[in-house]
Structure 1
Amino acid sequence: MTNHVLITRWLNVFPELAELEPETSDALSDAVRFERLRRGDVAYFQGQLCQNYVMCIEGQTRVFKTSESGREILLYQVGPGETCVLTTSCLISGNPFPAESTVEADALLATIPSNVFHRLMSASPKFRHYVLSNYGDLLSSLIMLVDEVAFASLDLRLARRLLAEADSRSIVSKTHQQLALDLGSVREVISRYVSEWERMGWVRSSRGSIEVLDEAALATYGLSGTEIPRPVLRLGSQS
């Protein structure tokens, strides 16, 4: 695929760039580089310096934090038309990447070198507004995650995650282990909740996926968790 075609795709996925000053658009088009990553590739290691402003054209990456005990928790995902809030933060502050980013679905990324990013942040009010506005939106989603982890129990977070991850066929294409990693829990606890919800007719669990059968019940549970009895965990903890 030629660079011209890639630039066209990039601009189609990020239409806001068309509103930049002509000289800024030209500078971005001259500097942009495209990178293809395969599922399972590491996009950023924890502690790595950020050399580029990253914009996702296709595919998806996941950004997560790992505790000293090896427990993971998903911070956020980056999909088409989105940028990485931690990469932006690192470029602005000069600090290393504080988490890890891996590829969930084969990705095509547009990258802007840090020297060009900083030059345009200083020279272009429109580019600066775009970056900071986007950064603010993404930061809000991180605050929501902190709120959810701090104040919502694991079962409520799992119910919400299943609804958020379900595709047009109501299928969540993740294993119990993957959901546990996303939520900072362990597979056994996730499996207990899923098994109980399957018994209640809310979901159907298959190898490598979960089908949401009763979206309304799961949504009600995810909002309050008080109107419908929760599954009883006899062994282990909820997180």
Structure 2
Amino acid sequence: MQQRAMNLVLTGVTGTALAGMLVAGVAAASEDSAPEKQFLSQQAVAAQEHKTPRKHAAESGYNGAKTAEAGSKAAKAEAKPAKKGPNVLLSGKTTASYFWDDGSGVNGDTGAPAGGKPMQKGLFASPSWPMHTKVKVSYKGRSITGFVGDRGPGEPSHRGVMLDLDTYTFRYLLDGKKPASKYNAGGGEGHLKGVKWEVLSWGKGAGKKGAPRPFGS
């Protein structure tokens, strides 16, 4: 009986020890596998990060730089001082005719221009403005700047024709082309209605400032 009891005790102790050893072994195995699981997890995260399209971030930065550069250029362009054109002292519209006075006697040519400068492209005749007044004329999007170098037109100025343009200016305003000759603008037109004029500076020669007046008035 006593021997049997001791065997039972030893068996119980041995079983308990074996159970403890098994538990410890499982725990040890679990602990040994933990770093491997952790390493695998880190690899998965790294792999997932590697799949991220980083080039988009780079492209975004590149595009952002380009946009900033374009904006900077635009800002500089806007910041540039605008070119100031000449001041317009007086403006209006009139019907214009054409002439070419060079002393040849062609088409009723009365001689050299009254302003003392030879006949040339950009030389206009006014019935009243001071000689050498600087004038810009525009018609259908085309413009030429010239000066008053002669008197005229005569009687037509009493009918509202307040500018006589040189042949070249007249034809250019009409259709952008050149006249058939110095004495004939061509194009089938003798007058241009609605020509815009702008006085840019008054000349120091004889004449009257202000709105154009009919010849002799």
- The TM-score normalised by the length of structure 1 is 0.19
Structure (1 or 2) with the larger CA radius of gyration: 2
